[in-house]
Structure 1
Amino acid sequence: MKATATAHRDFTISKIDERIYGAFLEHLGRAIYSGIYEPDHPTADSDGMRGDVIDLVKDLDIPIVRYPGGNFVSAYNWEDGIGPKQERPVRLDLAWHTSESNEVGIHEFANWCKSVGTEMMLAVNLGSRGLDAARNFVEYVNHPGGSYWSDLRRENGQEEPWNVKLWCLGNEMDGPWQIGHKDAAEYGKLAAETAKAIRAFDSSLELVVCGSSHSGMPTYPDWEATVLEHTYDVVDYISLHMYFANHEKNTGSYLALAHKLDTYIDTVAGVIQFVKAKRRSQKDVYISFDEWNVWYHSNQQDREILDGGNGWPHAPALLEDIYNFEDVLQVGLIINTFIRRSNVVKIACIAQLVNVIAPIMTERGGPAWRQTIYYPYYFASRFGRGKALDLAVTCPTYDSDQYSGIAYADVAAVHTEDGGVTIFVVSRHPDEAIELEVDMIGFDDLRVVDHQIMASPDLQAVNTRDRQDAVAPKPGNGATLSDGRLSVALPPYSYQMIRMGR
């Protein structure tokens, strides 16, 4: 089977905002406690943060991390996480039916972000709270001094402001499960007034308004239209969330779900344009896809905890999906979609980063290791920055139970900041190799400098504490670049990255 593509130096989609390789950490399960924070761990630093996790996160070169939620933020009092730890209150978290010690708050999280080389993307509570708490939080975080909240920050040990630029106006407020759920008009008005107050403090801040929690919501896409009617002039992004599952154990259908993602993006982009035209606006609003991942492997224990059967445990194991090789392909397809839609998707956050549906797993008191999905995320974040190329691809297709015309070879390409080209390709074919040829037009003096491949005869293969590299990339040896044409063989069900440079 053959597939062809043309990459032309002058045919680009957009400069990729590096923040599409962002991540997310919520006070949920073991994401924070025994995830990034474990004071008694052998590798813990002076702040109690796990050094082994810091090393794995630093390798990913993540530009932003969204915090502190998620559903958690909709009943969160940010003031609970400041001041001496021994004086912080223990609270009941209604979102996940657990108890929150507040040992980690904004100061600890900010220090952790500095240690891993990332920026904060903070969310304010527009569920149980509102405008006043939000503006106070922004003042505490960003004002240099001379006011009540900024001086309190300085008393708590942080002399300089953190100058956080990116703020989320609540979380999934369309969801009836959300503490403080609101209808679109109610939320739109609150978000608009909160945005106006934040902009009165600093007009340069970037604000994210809540879009639909997923494309199956009964209010979608009317929610986006109504919310943007109220907020278009005072926000910069609208958030989307999507999780991917293979409950039917049908790999072909599972790997076709990227088409659903693309349609979701396309629809909301159309709503944005509709509201822009209706308001005769000159400004642009973009998409922040600030929750995405595979999520369906979790255990029955999750249901028992969430239903309250275990009381109010602190940092129990929740949503700890163990990812397999099949999920590597799905994550590669999702990231390829974001690259190809980088003209409208400017921010994206894998949800989450550690333990909770995450690329990194830890054991309390023990090791940390890379889950299978760590690798496609790593390759894209490290080598997918630059301009997305507008490829012309010809490839055989198949039909799934929901979608038709799904390409067996999914290809994305980036003209990187150093002048090279990186190609990411996923083969969806179950049993036949694909010969891919890419004509590289306008790219002179390039050669293949790195070729990584992930393939496995066992789609269910996973990485564990004792077999941490059972699923890992290996150097490829078949990619050639000759006379401006890249040739590479795609084994069945495989993920590859090919880097070309000088």
Structure 2
Amino acid sequence: MPRARIVIDRDFTVADVPRRLFGSFVEHMGRCVYTGIFEPGHPEADERGFRRDVLALVKEMGPTVVRYPGGNFVSGYLWEDGVGPVADRPRRLDGAWHTVETNAFGLHEFVEWARAADVEVMQAVNLGTRGVEEARALVEYANHPGGTYWSDLRRRNGASEPFDIRLWCLGNELDGPWQIGHKTAHEYGRLAQETAKAMRFVDPDLELVAVGSSNRQMPTFGSWEHTVLTHAYEEVDYISMHAYYQERDEDAASFLAESVDMDAFIEGVIATIDAVKAAGKHTRQVDISFDEWNVWYQEGLQTDDQPHLVARQWREHPRLIEDTYSVTDAVVVGTFLHSLLRHGDRVRIANQAQLVNVIAPIRSEENGPAWRQTIFWPFARIAELARGRILRLAVESSQIATAKFGDVDAVDAAATWDEGSGRAALFLANRSLDEEAAVTLEVRGLGVTGVRGAEVLTLPEGGDRHSANTQDAPDTVGLVPLRSVGLEDGTLRATLPPLSWAVVQLDVART
């Protein structure tokens, strides 16, 4: 049986929990918007066309900030197409996903939906086919009170008060040759610098995210961040990270350890940021926005929803990358959230991509139901319970051999402590496919007075590691009580089932 000993101490913390760490992403791609969050005529649609069943699941899941409208989509998007009377909005070809964009849903609709969902808007600007002036105009349209061309146009379009969007992305994945308007690091760095300055001339209190590498495997990774920040360090607040992972060649052990790669990716970007800071003698701190991350099965699938199979068919919101997630995927997503928490001193924003239908924790059907995928549960519980301070863990764990990463900890963990409520939360994953894991938690400086609750996501009865939730069986996989947990002389002991993700809530008091 794998074993893990975890020690936490109230005096050894990482940072306050960044509430923006629990973000999501809505892109005009596939069915994320249309028949996802927005479907006029659906039995669950409200008077604005927002699906109330989806909205209820979004609120339950608990994202705090949602990035919009892309993604690859934004690099060819004219934001003006999505404002004004819907009947007058143009239909456009979207070159990013080879679809027809109707523009029936745009900026006003998204801001109204975000308010209904109680999430902050993270707005992206097009720096692929457009530039400084279009971004500056969008800030004026969204945030200026009135008395100017763009702000008065917003008012005529029905929004008398500014949208007050604080968080902005300066483009998307412009290091990628697939991107509309692909640029070199020097080209993008100068454009980002000048765009940032122009946007802040309109509204000086914006927070701006520069484009980082599209993934760690990009040939320009590291040098891209260094060059972009050398140009724009004083003008931006964050640089972005994107990463998607999948199981390959039935190598579940390596897949379950992919958060090792996420840890290394984050730490590499931190090192580059700090190198630019030191070389440039900067005093301000640039942090990380990990604004696209998830499990995404990009290779080895030839299903009808893959982008290359729908190219040049020019359909309206076709099915695209609607992955069905398993128990295995949910455990991996849990470890990604652990990684983000462990680096919460520098990763201040993170967005799981995407929110509905497109590689998403929530699925919905046209004129049909909405349901939770397996990956919904780790996100929902961590977003709900990770409060206060992130604790710095000392972990001694049995090892599991992997082909990709060598030996890794059998048990992966993260923890938080909220002094105000007197509660702590311990998040755990057992990477072993076939063995239970015995976990011992020693708490120093905080007296554990009780176990408030313990839940686990693991193999359903009669199921296997590929078990998933579907439209016909939406509750196959979920959280169930973790029975094998208890306190003895102030020490917590728990036994995790094979292939599981768990959360244990503790009542604690200072000692």
TM-score by shorter chain over 0.5? yes
Partner residue of 1:464 out of 465, 470, 477: 470
1:100·1:314 contact (CA, 8 Å) conserved in 2? yes
Residue 190 of structure 1 corresponds to which residue in structure 2? 191
- Cross-structure match for 1:446: 449
* Residue matched to 1:483: 489
What SS does structure 1 have at the residue aligned with 2:473? coil
Amino acid at match of 2:188: Y
Structure 1 window deviating more from structure 2 (334-343 vs 399-408): it is 399-408
Deviation at residue 443 of structure 1 after TM alignment: 1.4
The one of 302, 307, 311 equivalent to 2:305 is 302
* More moved, 211-220 vs 384-393: 384-393
- Secondary structure, in 3 states, of the residue corresponding to 2:289? strand
Counterpart of 1:181 in structure 2 is 182
1:151 aligned to 2:157?
no
1:124 aligned residue? 125
Unaligned 5+ residue runs, structure 2?
none
- Contact kept in structure 2, 1:97 and 1:306, CA below 8 Å: no
1:330 aligns with 2:332: yes
The question of 1:493 aligning with 2:499 is answered yes
Partner of 1:245: 246
Cα pair 2:390 2:417 within 8 Å, conserved = yes
How far did 1:444 drift?
A: 2.4
Determine the C-alpha separation between the residues in 2 that align with 1:135 and 1:482: 60
Q: Secondary structure at the match of 2:304?
A: helix
- Distance (Å, rounded) in 2 between the aligned partners of 1:223 and 1:484: 49
* 1:291 corresponding residue in structure 2: 292
Residues in 1 aligned to 2:200 and 2:236: alpha-carbon distance in whole angstroms: 9
* Secondary structure of residue in 1 paired with 2:209: strand
Higher mean alpha-carbon deviation, 48-57 vs 480-489, is at: 480-489
Matched to 1:145, the amino acid is: G
After superposition, the CA RMSD in angstroms is: 1.2
Q: CA deviation at 1:449?
A: 0.7
1:64 — aligned with what?
A: 65
Which residue does 1:426 correspond to in 2? 429
Deviation at 1:427, TM superposition (A): 0.3
Greater shift in the superposed pair: 389-398 or 175-184: 389-398
Cα offset, 1:340, TM superposition: 0.5
Return the alpha-carbon distance in structure 2 between the equivalents of residues 200 and 347 of structure 1: 24
Q: Deviation per CA, 1:273-306, whole angstroms, max 9, x where unpaired? A: 0000001111000010000000007653234x54
Following the alignment from structure 1 to structure 2, what is the Cα–Cα distance between the partners of residues 123 and 318? 21
Corresponding residue for residue 97 of structure 1? 98
Give the letter aligned to residue 426 of structure 2: I
2:218 counterpart letter in structure 1: M
Determine if contact 1:3/1:435 at 8 Å carries over to the other structure.
yes
Equivalent residue, structure 1, for 2:139:
138
Shift of 1:433: 1.5
Could you say if the C-alpha distance between residues 309 and 236 of structure 1 is closer, same or farther in structure 2, counting changes exceeding 3 Å? closer
1:417-458, CA deviations, whole angstroms, 9 ceiling, x for partnerless residues? 523110000001122222111111111253111110111051
2:285 match: secondary structure: coil
SS in 1 for 2:495: strand
- Match for residue 407 of structure 1 among 406, 409, 417: 409
The C-alpha deviation readout for 1:308-347, integer Å capped at 9, x for no partner, is 5562000000010000110011100100000101111110
Aligned with residue 385 of structure 2, among 361, 365, 383: 383
What is the DSSP-based 3-state SS (H/G/I as helix, E as strand, rest coil) of the residue aligned with 2:239? Answer: strand
The letter for the 1-side match of 2:55 is I
Deviation of the 1:482 alpha carbon:
3.2
SS in 2 for 1:357: coil
Q: What is the alpha-carbon distance in structure 2 between the residues aligned to residue 174 and residue 279 of structure 1?
A: 23
Which of 400, 411, 415 lines up with 1:398 in the alignment? 400
Normalised by the length of structure 2, the TM-score is 0.96
Secondary structure class of the residue paired with 1:14: strand
Structure 1 residues 163-172 or 412-421, which shifts more?
412-421
What one-letter code is carried by the residue in structure 2 that aligns with 1:326? T
- Paired residue secondary structure (1:319): coil
One-letter amino acid of the counterpart of residue 501, structure 1: D
Q: Which residue of 2 aligns with 1:50?
A: 51
- Moved beyond 3 Å, runs of 4+: 305-310
Q: Does the Cα contact within 8 Å between 1:28 and 1:72 map onto a contact in 2?
A: yes
Is the 1:426–1:495 Cα contact (8 Å) retained in structure 2? yes
How many Å separate the matches in 1 of 2:228 and 2:180? 18
Instruction: Give the structure-1-normalised TM-score.
Output: 0.98
Tell me the secondary structure at the aligned position of residue 429 of structure 2.
strand
1:199 and 2:205 equivalent? no
Q: Contact 2:212–2:241 at 8 Å: present in 1 too?
A: yes
